[in-house]
Structure 1
């Protein structure tokens, strides 16, 4: 009886895993097969049917020529580089102050980050939009950069876990040698935060790269399109060129897949190491 029960539970386990695999892999399959179909073939066949040829690259050429996907890659790359540079600087500095010094306003500062995380961002969009417009950043690459550089509480906690594991004796020895607080941060703290920074860079890059809401709302100008908003150029009021959209999605998907495959161990190592510390 126990053996039968075990086999039934085992069946349920593997059956649920198969359902999970299907749910994950079915959308990419649909995107891949439709990316190689012409418009006539897409309209005449099922969306799950295989294309006549996987050597039809007309859709990919059209995506670059009509959609300006190359410009989209350039814009999002510029945003990511500037954002990550400022985000790392501000994040490590805030974590250094909160993790190394004690002062009266410390609980309030850390609490402010927590409160900002709890408040749904959609409830503050009207005020945020007004601020961005008053700063003259609307319809410029500066708008998403300003919104992305905010050091969120997750990265603060990640950095603080690593900082707390750095012996304070290193700071004291550096002070004896005449090092200033900034030099201690630059020469000792910042280099030792490399694992946390690598994890942050990967997660932030994927997050910014996949975000559509902020670029769509704050950069409607055609020349400022990023890879996610380029997809909307093939969508009309009543219909869309889904074969071109699938081709664009496939091109956009490749960099994140490659990034994740080669750097996934840094994600897991950084997060688990920070949790253990």
Structure 2
């Protein structure tokens, strides 16, 4: 076998393995979508087969059971508010830590990085007890906690990106009469757009899908998020898989819409990261 034939065989094997791996990753989505259109009896009869008769009754019932409009509002409010505040505060902190070369700034940066390895479960009970004493077991409290948990990784990402922005820009703006806030907001922050998109994506996916923290903090039935509402399909004695799968599709739609509108910025951020 000559070199050209070996190359063709190798490429064919890689293509086959990549296709199989892609199908493996897509299989959960296939199972969710296919079974969302089945009746409960048909779902348990054959999980992998296509529906004999497609029905939208599952989506209608799941929409009502989820109180989808109210749950969607609270999920969007918590996610958007938390992500926006994480982006603003983390970029500010990272900028000051990167521009201020001192032992204190290095210690603070190391503390932020060290907090990334502490699992949430290790501080879960003391944190909830402390927040309960402050009467912050509500929507405002969970946003405050999301900012705290999301800041470490975001500061780490911003700090690395800021190293590629020359300090001379800050000095030139200062000579022109800008104060610290103006330098950051009008000069530095617009340049952070590529990494801000990355930070927004990572935190949006995490906060939108989070179940554990909201289950500990949000107690009012009127302020439950979509993951909390979806859990009610799984009772102690029965599991409504047909409604749960339909609800999951409804949950995914806002994320798909977010990706659709942000895809240009996502591509730009990936391209900018590869260049740098």
The separation in 2 between residues aligned to 1:273 and 1:155, in whole angstroms, is 17
Partner residue of 2:95?
A: 96
Partner residue of 2:146?
A: 148
Per the alignment, in what secondary structure is the counterpart of residue 234 of structure 1?
A: coil
Partner residue of 1:245?
A: 244
Whether the 8 Å CA contact 1:38–1:243 is kept in 2: the answer is: yes
> Bigger shift: 218-227 or 114-123?
218-227
Q: Does 1:48 align with 2:54?
A: no
Question: Cα deviation per residue 1:90-123 (whole Å; 9 max; x = unaligned)?
Answer: 1111011012122330110001011101222221
Change (3 A) 1:274 1:8: closer
Give the TM-score of the pair, scaled to structure 1: 0.88
Partner residue of 1:23?
A: 24
Partner residue of 1:200?
A: 199
The separation in 1 between residues aligned to 2:173 and 2:87, in whole angstroms, is 23
Whether the 8 Å CA contact 2:113–2:153 is kept in 1: the answer is: no
The separation in 2 between residues aligned to 1:275 and 1:64, in whole angstroms, is 42
Whether the 8 Å CA contact 2:116–2:153 is kept in 1: the answer is: no
Question: Cα deviation per residue 1:58-89 (whole Å; 9 max; x = unaligned)?
Answer: 11111121221221111111102221222122
Partner residue of 1:183?
A: 182
Indicate the RMSD between aligned Cα atoms, in angstroms. 2.4
Consecutive unaligned residues in structure 2, runs of 5 or more? none
Give the TM-score of the pair, scaled to structure 2: 0.88
Question: Cα deviation per residue 1:39-64 (whole Å; 9 max; x = unaligned)?
Answer: 34334x3112222333x211111112
Partner residue of 1:71?
A: 70
The separation in 2 between residues aligned to 1:198 and 1:142, in whole angstroms, is 24
Task: Report matched runs for 1:154-165 at 5 Å.
Answer: 154-165=153-164
| Structure 1 residue 246: Cα displacement | 0.8
Whether the 8 Å CA contact 1:59–1:244 is kept in 2: the answer is: yes
Partner residue of 1:119?
A: 118
The separation in 2 between residues aligned to 1:60 and 1:107, in whole angstroms, is 52
Whether the 8 Å CA contact 1:161–1:274 is kept in 2: the answer is: no
| Structure 1 residue 8: Cα displacement | 6.3
Change (3 A) 1:216 1:188: same
Q: Does 1:216 align with 2:219?
A: no
Partner residue of 1:260?
A: 259
Per the alignment, in what secondary structure is the counterpart of residue 81 of structure 1?
A: helix
Per the alignment, in what secondary structure is the counterpart of residue 105 of structure 1?
A: helix
The separation in 1 between residues aligned to 2:12 and 2:183, in whole angstroms, is 57
Q: What is the number of residues matched between the two proteins?
A: 274
The separation in 2 between residues aligned to 1:248 and 1:236, in whole angstroms, is 15
